[in-house]
Amino acid sequence: MMTKNAAINNSYRPAIEINHSQQILGNPETNLPVYLKDSLQKYQHFIEEQKKNIEQLTSLKLHMETTGKVCPKAWHWGRFYKLFHPMHESYWLTTWWETTDEEKQRRFDEQLNYLARQTIRFREAYTFLMEIDDRNWYFDNQTPPI
């Protein structure tokens, strides 16, 4: 037979556990706790920005393909790297002449993909690249600049 104190303790424990879980997880009838809500909003913002970045990335790559642009010339590509730190360092100065057009284009594509998919700085990078004059871009050998 259960004593009065044991019965009170058993009935009291679930109420404490429910109250504690509501404090941690938030009451299902109300909004999420502030720290979860803030994180969720930041994640949703990042996803929205990433979608916009990918649209701009597609537009930039189409522009580069139609104009024959491979990458910015060495000095501007170096500036681009120093401003935005897009994962892999650019080919410039000593290695510029040793790399092929395909290697330059592949490296620049990797940098653009990284900025568009992994950071929120792609719009700034896009603006920077579009402001570079055509004479400061390296063009594919088969396609003359327009």
142 occurs within a structural domain? yes
Q: Which residue has the higher pLDDT, 32 or 43?
A: 43
76 occurs within a structural domain? yes
Q: Where does the pLDDT of residue 124 fall: very low under 50, low under 70, confident under 90, or very high at 90 and above?
A: very high
36 occurs within a structural domain? no
* CA 138/CA 145 separation, integer angstroms: 9
Q: Which domain holds residue 113?
A: 70-146
* CA 111/CA 84 separation, integer angstroms: 9
High-pLDDT (> 90) share of the chain, %: 40
**For residues 102-115, average pLDDT:** 92
> What mean pLDDT is reported for the chain?
78
Q: Where does the pLDDT of residue 21 fall: very low under 50, low under 70, confident under 90, or very high at 90 and above?
A: very low
Residue 87 confidence (pLDDT) above 50: yes
Q: How many domains does the chain have?
A: 1
5 occurs within a structural domain? no
- On whether the CB atoms of residues 46 and 103 are closer than 8 A, the answer is no
30 occurs within a structural domain? no
Q: Which of 67, 50, 60 is nearest to 121 (CA)?
A: 50
57 occurs within a structural domain? no
The model's pTM: 0.67
28 occurs within a structural domain? no
115 occurs within a structural domain? yes
Distance between first and last Cα of the chain:
94
